[in-house]
Amino acid sequence: MLVTCCQLTEMITDRKEGKLSSEQEEGCARHLAWCDRCRTYLRQMELTVDALRGIPGEPLHDEVRAALFAQFQRRKTAAD
Amino acid sequence: MLRVSHDSSAGAGAGAAADGTAAAPARRVPAETGPLVAAGEPGGAASSAAPECAAHGDDIALVRRLLAGDERAFEQLVTQLHTPMLRLARTLAGPAGAQEVVQETWAAVFDGLVRFEGRSALKTWVFRILTNRARTWGTREKRTVPVAWQEDGEQGSEPAVDPARFDGTGDWVNPPVPWTEQSPEGLLLRKEIGAVLQREIEALVPGQRAVVLLRDVEGCPSGEVCEILGISEANQRVLLHRGRSTLRTALERYLTRG
């Protein structure tokens, strides 16, 4: 299967999720072997996804933590 | 394929102590703390789309410690989950409802811990309760909580890359330029990148935002995300693809400008 650059940009997620047919998979692999621009695109998609995993979370404020703990204790006492 | 049943009523009732001292009035124990495992969970091992249903031993151990009143376990639970819960709640109920939804979710989680069986990750179990709480909140406040995931998914014609960047045969005319940063760590070392991503996630349509949050930010497996949001696997993939593509474009815009 012949895959264009434009088509490849639409197949990246399905490929990552293992949802391409073997024919599509082969077409993608062949395209990526010769197209450095699409390899750049693929790399940028991977970097984006990996960076998302590393987004720092907001710190949990002590007051919130304390309020939740109090709530937890009350619930627990009520249940016991 | 997998749908969470939103109307299962079994399991409600026990421990529904009205807790007037909580900041948000405690309501009756939600149904979702009952049979939380969606139908069809066992026996799906043959399909790659089957939900991850291995026993979550660490989570079961944590829940046991919680039930025994272990304060360190509580710390761990809250530290792990509160911020992710707020992020998801903001997506589902907006800034207006997020606090309330999270508060109610915690109440339901504390009441329901005793029924946690480890058939999905604790995080997934909590997120599912949160999704249901958000829908209940939406009904109560007469606001539309985006159950419109499907609608988002139907915007399937929205391309990953601006079509103007390709010629008539589908070849790049305006190809991506390699970024200087070649590792996610390198990217995130630039503190503003984290902020750019946060802002761009907020700007995604709700369905894409929820899926990207759960899959990429929280690292939930695909089957569990479908369960949490009550969407099909195919729908989830479309939303994920659109969301990720939009975020890449945003980073590209940021990293290659002037």
pLDDT of residue B140: 84
Which residue of chain A comes nearest to B182, CA vs CA?
A47
Summarised one tens digit per residue, pLDDT across range B124-168 is 999 999 999 998 888 888 776 655 454 444 555 689 999 999 999
φ/ψ of residue B3, rounded to 5 = -130, 135
pLDDT of residue A47: 94
The separation between the first and the last C-alpha atoms of chain B, rounded to the nearest angstrom, is 46
Quick one: which of B97, B117, B78 has its CA closest to A71?
B78
| Cα angle B39, B43, B45; round to 5 | 115
Using alpha carbons, list the distances in angstroms from residue B69 to B7, B14, B145.
Answer: 31, 19, 35
pLDDT of residue B13: 36
Q: Do A13 and B240 touch (CB under 8 A)?
A: yes
| 3-state SS assignment for residue B44 | coil
A26: left (phi over 0), alpha (psi -120 to 50) or beta: alpha
Q: Is A80 on the interface with B (CB under 8 A)?
A: no
pLDDT of residue A8: 97
Reported ipTM: 0.91
pLDDT of residue B223: 93
DSSP classification of residue B217: I
Q: Is A61 on the interface with B (CB under 8 A)?
A: no
Contacts of B78 in chain A (CB under 8 A): 60, 65, 68-69
pLDDT of residue A13: 97
Highest mean pLDDT among A58-62, B137-141, B235-239: B235-239
Which residue of chain A comes nearest to B199, CA vs CA?
A55
Contacts of B219 in chain A (CB under 8 A): 53
A-B CB pairs within 8 A amount to: 143
B8-20 b/e (C-beta count within 10 Å ≥ 16 → b): beebbeebeeebe
φ/ψ of residue B77, rounded to 5 = -60, -50
Alpha helix (H) ranges present in chain A? Answer: 5-16, 22-34, 36-53, 62-79
Please classify residue B68 by burial: count the beta carbons closer than 10 Å to its beta carbon, then call 0-12 exposed, 13-18 middle and 19+ buried: exposed
Mean pLDDT across B52-60: 69
pLDDT of residue B191: 79
φ/ψ of residue A64, rounded to 5 = -65, -45
pLDDT of residue B55: 57
B224/A2 Cα distance (integer angstroms): 34
pLDDT of residue B156: 52
Summarised one tens digit per residue, pLDDT across range B15-49 is 333 333 333 333 333 444 433 333 333 333 333 33
Q: Is A2 on the interface with B (CB under 8 A)?
A: no
Q: Which long-range contacts (CB under 8 A, 24 or more apart) does B60-64 make?
A: B60/B116, B60/B117, B60/B118, B62/B122, B63/B113, B63/B116, B63/B118, B63/B122
B25–chain A nearest CA distance, Å? 12
Q: How confident is the model at residue B2 (pLDDT cuts 50, 70, 90)?
A: very low
Domains, chain B: 31-140 (1.10.1740.10), 149-256 (1.10.10.10)
Of the partner residues A52, A55, A78, the one whose CB lies closest to the CB of residue B17: A78
Q: Cβ(B232)–Cβ(B132) under 8 Å?
A: no
B84–chain A nearest CA distance, Å? 8
Q: Which carries the bigger pLDDT value, residue B18 or residue B103?
A: B103
Residue A32, pLDDT above cutoff 70? yes
Q: Cβ(B224)–Cβ(B52) under 8 Å?
A: yes
Q: Cβ(B2)–Cβ(B227) under 8 Å?
A: yes
Provide DSSP, B85-108: HHHHHHHHHHHHHHHHHHHHHHHH
Quick one: which of A47, A56, A60 has its CA closest to B195?
A56
